[in-house]
Each structure stands twice: as C-alpha cells, then as structure tokens.
Amino acid sequence: MRALAALSRFVGNTFAYWVLLFAVLAFFLPELFKPLSVAIVPLLGVVMFGMGLTLKVDDFAAVARQPWRVLLGVVAHFVIMPGVAWLLCQLFHLPAEIAVGVILVGCCPSGTSSNVMTWLARGDLALSVAIAAVTTLLAPLLTPALIWLLASEWLPVSFAALFWSILQVVLLPIVLGLIAQRVLGERVRHVVDVLPLISVVSIVLIVAAVVAASQARIAESGLLIMAVVVLHNGFGFLLGYFTGKAFRLPLAQRKSLALEVGMQNSGLGAALASAHFSPLAAVPSALFSVWHNISGALLSTWFRRMRDDANQP
C-alpha cells in the first residue's frame, strides 16, 4: 500500500506531463482512444466522488472566518471567466461549436488542481479550498444559467438538461463521497492516499477521449482554439490577482484568487460538452486541461519566489 501511495504522489506531482502525453497520443492514434468517449461522464463522477472523500467540515471554516473574501473569490470566478470567454468568442468570431465550448469551460467551477498549485505557490490554502468547494457546490445552478445566458446566441442551450447533468456528475458523487467518509471513518485514509492516482488517470482518459473524438477538427482549428485557451487562462490569472489587489488582500490571498479564478474544472466542461453539444465543443475543455496545469505550475513557481511584505496590501 505504501508503494501505491508513493506512486500516487509521483503521478499527482507530474499531472501536467501525463495529460500532455496522452493528448498527443490520442491525436496521433485516435482509433485507440475513441471507445473511451462513453466513459467520460462516469470518469468525472469518480473524480468528484474522490473530492467528496477528502472534503472536511474544517475546509469550510474559512467561509465562517472570512466570508467576504470567499464571496469575493466566488463572484470573481463566475464573473471573470465567463465574461472573458464571451469576449474572446466575439473578438475571434469563433464558429458556433467552438464558441459554446469556450464559454462552457469558462462557466465551470474552479479546478481541483488549483488547491495544489496554491499550496506550491505559498498562497492561502484555506481560502483556496473554500472557494473551490463553494464554486463546485454552486455549479449545478450557476453553470447552466451562465451557459444559457452567454451561449444561446450560438446554439440552443437547455438549462434544465445541464442542471440535471451537473447534479448527477458533480453534486451526487460529492455527497456520496461525504457519506462514505462518514461511514468508513479512518479506513478512508488508505483510499485518500491513492486518490491522486485515480484522479489523474480519470482526467487523462477524459482528455484523451475528447482529443481522439475531434482529431480531424483539432488538426483544422487546433491553433486557433489553443490561442483562445491560453488567453482565457492568462486573463483569468491576471484579473483574479488584480481583483485581490483592488480589495487590498494580502499577497498570499491574491495568489489564491489568481489560481482559483484562472483554473477551471475542465473535466466537467468536457463531459457537459460531449453530452449536450458535440465532440468539437469539448475540445476547448480538453486543451484547457492540458494548458492550465502547465501554466498553473509555472505561475505557482513564480509566485513562490515573490517576497511577502506584510506592510504591503
């Protein structure tokens, strides 16, 4: 079990490389990964179940201690990322399916890897976890509402269908994870040790399935989509950081806001796009999953070197 836990830590620490490797493999060997398309939603459910196993009451203590800072992070996340996505779609005159995919990933809750990046960046981890948890719990309502509001001009959007999908693939697995944690008690700890391995394998397979299903369209429009993804993620980091600065938050909390705003639950985006729109609409989420783990790691390394002057806001 100790060896498996060590492998899990190694795979978790090298997450970005595995996503990139299997995205490339899926692009050049699409037939090998196309059958995985039917497993996208169950795989995301596994990731969310794992999140439920790790959530604790203490994770929400930051909401009680600093409610306005958590609220600021949640509002910034659900305003900045959907807003930037919509503006980029207008600026680049994106085709309908790609535009919906960009907006969809922008409307998703915070990504689970943002907590790891915040820890590496020496940010405020409690604030990061609280923002990620609250955005995830609000996702069944806010994500379909924002997609309907912003993406309806490109393709028909069903709020009800998206709402029920997110309940099934996000909220239900998290609740089941919390129940399992309560029932199993200390025995859950052994499972938690290998969760990074399970989560990485699940996300890697989701990305590979999406890339394989849209290989021809990625070859045609991949550079354009990648440019939009890089800009989307970059503006998320930048605007998240300066939102914290505008509200005079300490440096550690500005780091948390930057990473929580800029990193999305792109696995959820890929699952929703595949289920409700098309494989092409899932491509922005797949590329976002590859890129934000690379950019998040780079940004957290830079943040880690920043001098935290207690006299500066």
For the segment 140-164, the average pLDDT, to the nearest whole number, is: 87
pLDDT at 42 over 70: yes
Which of the two residues, 186 and 98, has the higher pLDDT score? 98
Q: Which amino acid is at 197?
A: L
pLDDT at 103 over 90: yes
End-to-end CA distance of the chain: 45
**Where do the structural domains in the chain lie, given as residue ranges?**
15-304
Nearest to 114, CA basis, from 96, 98, 127: 127
Length of the chain as a residue count: 313
For residue 86, give Cα distances in angstroms to 74, 80, 151, 198, 213.
19, 10, 8, 33, 25
The reported pTM is: 0.81
In the predicted model, what is the mean pLDDT of the chain? 83
Q: Are 124 and 132 in contact (CB under 8 A)?
A: no
pLDDT at 260 over 50: yes
- Using pLDDT thresholds of 50, 70 and 90, give the confidence band for residue 57: low
The predicted pLDDT at position 310 comes to 47
pLDDT, tens only, 267-303: 888 888 888 888 888 889 888 887 887 888 788 878 8
- Using pLDDT thresholds of 50, 70 and 90, give the confidence band for residue 124: confident
Q: Whole-angstrom Cα distance, residue 7 to residue 293?
A: 19
For the segment 218-237, the average pLDDT, to the nearest whole number, is: 89
For the segment 79-99, the average pLDDT, to the nearest whole number, is: 94
Domain 15-304 CATH class label:
mainly alpha
Number of CB atoms found within 10 A of residue 88's CB:
20
Least confident of 118-127, 129-138, 187-196, 235-244: 187-196
Give pairs for 79-84: CB < 8 Å, separation 24+. 80/235, 80/236, 80/239, 80/240, 80/243, 80/261, 81/106, 81/107, 81/108, 81/232, 81/236, 81/261, 81/262, 81/264, 82/106, 82/107, 82/146, 82/150, 84/231, 84/232, 84/235, 84/236, 84/239
Q: Are 196 and 54 in contact (CB under 8 A)?
A: no
DSSP letter assigned to residue 312 = -
For the segment 36-46, the average pLDDT, to the nearest whole number, is: 80
- Using pLDDT thresholds of 50, 70 and 90, give the confidence band for residue 118: confident
Q: What is the CA radius of gyration of the chain?
A: 18
pLDDT at 313 over 50: no
Which of the two residues, 268 and 64, has the higher pLDDT score? 268
Q: Which amino acid is at 242?
A: F
For the segment 22-51, the average pLDDT, to the nearest whole number, is: 83
- Using pLDDT thresholds of 50, 70 and 90, give the confidence band for residue 312: very low
The predicted pLDDT at position 107 comes to 94
Which residue's structure tokens are 């203490």?
A: 58
Which of the two residues, 253 and 157, has the higher pLDDT score? 253
The predicted pLDDT at position 3 comes to 75
Q: Are 179 and 245 in contact (CB under 8 A)?
A: no
The predicted pLDDT at position 261 comes to 95
Which of the two residues, 313 and 19, has the higher pLDDT score? 19
Which of the two residues, 204 and 9, has the higher pLDDT score? 204
Which residue's structure tokens are 């090998």?
A: 32
The predicted pLDDT at position 58 comes to 65
Nearest to 195, CA basis, from 206, 181, 182: 181
pLDDT, tens only, 126-142: 788 888 888 988 988 99
Which of the two residues, 293 and 230, has the higher pLDDT score? 230
